[in-house]
Structure 1
Amino acid sequence: MSYLVTLCIPTNGVPEWCQPVFESIYQQGVDENLFQVVVTDNGDNQEFKKIAHQYQANHKSFVYQETTAQGFLNQIESFKLAEGKLVKFLNHRNCLEPGALDYFINYSKRGDEDTVVYFSEGNLHRENVIEDDSFDSFIKDLGLYTTWSGGLAFWHKDLEKIEGLQSFNSLYPHTDVLFMKRHAKKYVIVDKVLTKSLPTDDTKKGRYNLFHAFADEYINILKGLKSDGDITEVTYQSVYGELKQFVVDLYAQYVLLQLPCSYDLSDSDKYISKNFSVEEVNKLAKKWALKYRIKSTIKKILGK
């Protein structure tokens, strides 16, 4: 069967997240002949497995497969099972907003398969659709959100290119997909809010090394784009600046304020020093932390 859209949901099997996400898809009332849901599970939660098998029994468009793929590489396993014309990554904590599935289906019907499309979920605070005529301007417009897998989409006809890639970055496999077409006819960013993240806290998120990921590994990816001539120095510096501020925010929250989280924070200064000044990051983070403490104190006083 040929679907117009496949929603790929790689997960480690968290029932309190995934079940509401599944419900948000099938409660849209869309003809199941038009879309497919692919769930790949690299976890060991037995309750979740029962839920997933039940959805598979009840919905012909639901595909569930267990996998041994580690961490973020689970994304690639889900993509390989996709049959839809438009393949859209969906985070296992992100429920579809009403009408979102129809939007993806209509986009698939009218979309140009020679373009690269990314769904930035209103995070850029721009007009609903941004069109770029070069990879360089596309990366500059996305900025920090090039690190975010949640907006990833691609056309099924490009799946062969993905399967042909020799290896994937274990922290950022989605960028291997996002960046594989560097000479497309057009790049489209849809900045419309189509999903809503379920409430959670940072103690239930990733266990990867946070500063290795953002202060080291991703900067290396950017440097590779620049050295290949695919982005300009101006774009590199623009995204680098956004990453620097993000690293400052992370350092303030988790190193200075020691807010609870599930991330690995080891060797933070070592990783930061590879591409930033630790002294400058620390100085800026202290200012961030001070503002946070002041706001928290005010909220307590006001009883909020």
Structure 2
Amino acid sequence: MKPLVSICIPTYNRVEQLKITMESIMAQPEFREGKVEIVISDNASDDDTEQMGRQYAGQSDHIVYFRNEQNVRDRNFPLALSRGTGILRKLNNDTLCLNKDTLRLLCNLAEEYQESRPCIFLSNGQGKGQSREHFSFRDFVVTEGHYVTWIGGFTIWEDDCAALEKDTAGCELSLWQVRKIYETAYRKNDIVVCNQRIGRSLSPAKKDVSYGLYQVFYVNYMKLLEPYEQNQALSAEDMEIIQKNLLINFFTEWMINWELSMTDAQYSATENLKELVSKQYRDKPYWKEYQKLYRRRYHFMKMVNKLMEIKNFICRK
């Protein structure tokens, strides 16, 4: 029988995190019952990913492993989804460890919406309203904002996967999942946002953001929204709301981490994130008020960071 759900995992050189992610899925009854399959799409890793992937695939008929001949970068997202066979297919970060009831949620969504097949997005607890909400295209874009960039929230129905491996527009912007979900949401104009927490992210040894956070999450992201402003699906006021939310809810944390060197992230050597964000937003009417917010968050995160250093020092004693 065709599985209800395919968990499609594009991966590259994260064998330790992938193993934990896999175990969190395999432990759930819906996987053991054959309702859920796992698809590993290995982007030509040079660690032990291939050995582990083939070992898992040999242990279960509900796990399939594919290895790309070369690293195709973001094109691995549509590839992973095209390799699934489930009615509903979910992209899953190789660092996303799923909660114990997440497969049941996904199977329920697949069964409940199998006839109408709306666009489904998993916000992982970001929503402040009901556990499940229906949106029009405009309300979805404005409400969810930059959260749609998270690949772990992306789902697609099998009948939207025709020739998906060739559907690579947006990969050059490092935002294929955003282009695809907006395209699908606009066409259907019926989006179900599930606010239930579905999992927790495992920290990779070194998070690489050297591609440029401002370039991808402002320049490229806004470029994908432009056609919807041009066809009046989004208004100029909507675009301003999206930009403001991006500043407050996305760039603030990254800029503070960058200033305090609080993370192991590998930032771009040429992109001065704070300078670029300041240049883009400093003429906005809310900029002065935002600077006060930034300073409060900066000092709070600096204090938290110091307390963590003290705690770690005591624990090493």
Q: TM-score range by the shorter chain?
A: 0.7 to 0.9
- Aligned pair partner of 1:88 in 87, 90, 93: 90
Partner of 2:153: 151
For the residue of structure 2 that corresponds to 1:7, the secondary structure is: strand
Q: Which runs of 5+ in 1 are unaligned?
A: none
Bigger shift: residues 220-229 or 59-68: 220-229
Mark the CA change 1:287 to 1:224 in structure 2 (over 3 Å): closer, same or farther: farther
Contact 1:3-1:84 at 8 Å conserved across structures: yes
The reply to whether residue 118 of structure 1 matches residue 127 of structure 2 is no
In 2: Cα distance, 1:42 partner to 1:48 partner: 10
In 1: Cα distance, 2:19 partner to 2:25 partner: 10
Q: Which runs of 5+ in 2 are unaligned?
A: none
TM-fit CA distance, 1:205: 4.5
For the residue of structure 2 that corresponds to 1:179, the secondary structure is: helix
- Aligned pair partner of 2:281 in 276, 280, 285: 276
Aligned residues: 301
State the AA in 2 paired with 1:130: E
Mark the CA change 1:59 to 1:217 in structure 2 (over 3 Å): closer, same or farther: same
Partner of 2:178: 175
Provide, for residues 166-185 of structure 1, a one-character-per-residue CA deviation record: whole Å limited to 9, x for no partner: 63333101012201221315
TM-fit CA distance, 1:136: 0.3
In 2: Cα distance, 1:201 partner to 1:55 partner: 21
In 1: Cα distance, 2:280 partner to 2:123 partner: 27
TM-fit CA distance, 1:25: 1.2
The reply to whether residue 35 of structure 1 matches residue 40 of structure 2 is no
TM-fit CA distance, 1:273: 6.6
TM-fit CA distance, 1:192: 0.5
Provide, for residues 238-296 of structure 1, a one-character-per-residue CA deviation record: whole Å limited to 9, x for no partner: 21111122223322221x22334123252335754774339959956555433332444
Contact 1:113-1:155 at 8 Å conserved across structures: no
State the AA in 1 paired with 2:271: D
Contact 2:124-2:199 at 8 Å conserved across structures: yes
- Aligned pair partner of 1:228 in 218, 228, 231: 231
Bigger shift: residues 73-82 or 163-172: 163-172
In 1: Cα distance, 2:47 partner to 2:166 partner: 33
The reply to whether residue 218 of structure 1 matches residue 227 of structure 2 is no
State the AA in 2 paired with 1:292: M
Partner of 2:192: 188
TM-fit CA distance, 1:201: 6.0
In 2: Cα distance, 1:12 partner to 1:87 partner: 20
Mark the CA change 1:223 to 1:274 in structure 2 (over 3 Å): closer, same or farther: farther
TM-fit CA distance, 1:81: 0.7
State the AA in 2 paired with 1:261: A
Provide, for residues 103-151 of structure 1, a one-character-per-residue CA deviation record: whole Å limited to 9, x for no partner: 211211111443111011102233210111x200111121221222220
The reply to whether residue 61 of structure 1 matches residue 62 of structure 2 is yes
State the AA in 1 paired with 2:92: L
Mark the CA change 1:275 to 1:71 in structure 2 (over 3 Å): closer, same or farther: farther
Partner of 2:299: 290
In 1: Cα distance, 2:207 partner to 2:278 partner: 28
Percent of residue pairs bearing the same amino acid type: 20
Provide, for residues 57-94 of structure 1, a one-character-per-residue CA deviation record: whole Å limited to 9, x for no partner: 11112111112243322111101112110011111111
State the AA in 1 paired with 2:12: N
In 2: Cα distance, 1:33 partner to 1:301 partner: 48
Superposition CA RMSD, Å: 2.9
Q: When the two structures are superposed, what TM-score results if normalisation uses the length of structure 2? A: 0.84
- Aligned pair partner of 2:141 in 139, 142, 160: 139
State the AA in 1 paired with 2:19: Q
In 2: Cα distance, 1:298 partner to 1:109 partner: 47
Contact 1:272-1:278 at 8 Å conserved across structures: no
